[in-house]
Structure 1
Amino acid sequence: MALPTTLGEACRAVLTTADPPAKVRLARAVARAWRRGQLAPEFDAVMPDAPARPARPELLPPNRMPKRGRGGSERGRAALLHALAHIEFSAIDLAFDAAGRFGGLFPRRFADDWIGVGADEAMHFAVLDRRLRAFGLHYGALPAHAGLWEAAADTAHDAAARMAIVPMVLEARGLDVTPETVARFEAAGDMPSARILHRIFTDEIRHVGIGTRWFGYLCANADISPAPHWQMLVGRHFRGPLKPPFNDSARARAGLTRDYYAPIAALTSSGSHQPR
């Protein structure tokens, strides 16, 4: 396939590609071309307000999503894998949007990091979609959550807010819940799915770490204390409470220490509102 000549244009091309296999191929090709120095480090393209989406899955608001259960039955495991595939499909766009939208504000390493994340997310989606086919399904066969792009839209104006919400809240939540999900798949004897989810979990620790590091970079440049600033941004841009239990050890490996989230979690679990 013929690629654009600049990284900004290439990121936009990923976001405006709707077909899942084509998006995966393009994401990988862009990452490979960037590593090889074949794309100019120019951020000359406007990122779309929303990415292109395939006709399926049907996107529903959270309150209309069917209950999946806890993944004990084969049907429940298939539904959970489909939901995770949708998250990873959306994460491809989130990563390339971060690189294309904010890359010009940072050292080159920022684009290196987020293009690498995008390639990881493309791989995650591909292996989950392939695993779904062992259950007689494919991505798009079931409805999916419609709200995953909201965090990107709400933080499109502010790189610090984007880092605070997408990797440091949404992806960090994956660190909290994935080990239990892996254990349920193992208990059901579904070791292929468990291995896929463990690989994704390991990669997501690194992704959360990338977001945390660049958030810290912005705070250091502005002479702002990171944890209180993060708490303010979460209160302003994140819809909902931060719910324990937290995987403190995995979060700490990513640099997301308890001084960030424990004060807000204490407030929300006691029924108080988050700061705004």
Structure 2
Amino acid sequence: MANVVIITGISSGMGRAAALYFKKQGFEVYGGARRVERLVDLQEQGIHTQKLDVTDKLSVRGLVDHVISEEGHIDVLINNAGYGEYGPLEEVPIENAKRQFDVNLFAVDQITQLVLPFMRHQGSGRIVNISSIAGDIYSPLGGWYHATKAGLNMWSDVLDSEVHRFGIRSVVVQPGLTKSEWSTIALNNARKNLLDDSPYSDLVDKLEDMFGKINTGATSEELAKVFYQAATDVRPKRRYYHSIVDHGMVVIARSMPNTYRAVLNRLMK
């Protein structure tokens, strides 16, 4: 009997690469995204796809029910769907900030609540939450995104402390900047969230330049392997990183906040 994984947000980037990699490793892969036109070739390669809005409980329940009806069990849930709602904290509409939490955090809890009873019944399971090093580090214009990822990290740790006794583990993958659409979307959102004659407009160009300076060069395919390790390690770690650079940035930000701020100021010049 093949292992079964659900992956959210598989239309592009890390989610798409993970769907293909898990399939290659023999998993039955189920997943979805809002842009169904980008799922056609995944379906042709044997991945079970459907339209999915992670903020819609009926849509999420439909995916989970479909997996259970076909497979009878769920071994791994990878909470990958997310985006960056960038912009100055003074100017980002509160509705946009709430949407960021809905997608990046509350939707994670929603699908996990639906999956956990099945994992608990079978006595095993792995919840892999795709966070970011941005859950520990920060930069201008990313306030709401950083808040959601920091919240996701803590949420995952609390969940792990609650479900460990049932044979279930909740772990976090923290990618750095990658070769994907993520930074482009985040920067576009930052520009959209600027008011006319905003005093923060220069920060967008500086942030774009900084992203280029600290890009670790990780591809989606490389991160898919990190997802797989987090999902299959016999003795899982609480945190997974692609590179020592990503991990090092987190260590510096957490243990030497003044040093981190000095480096950030230098990069933003």
Same fold (TM over 0.5): no
Q: What is the TM-score normalised by the length of structure 2?
A: 0.29
- Choose between structure 1 and 2: higher strand proportion: 2
Q: Scaled by the length of structure 1, what TM-score is found?
A: 0.28
The structure whose residues are more often helix, as a share, is: 1
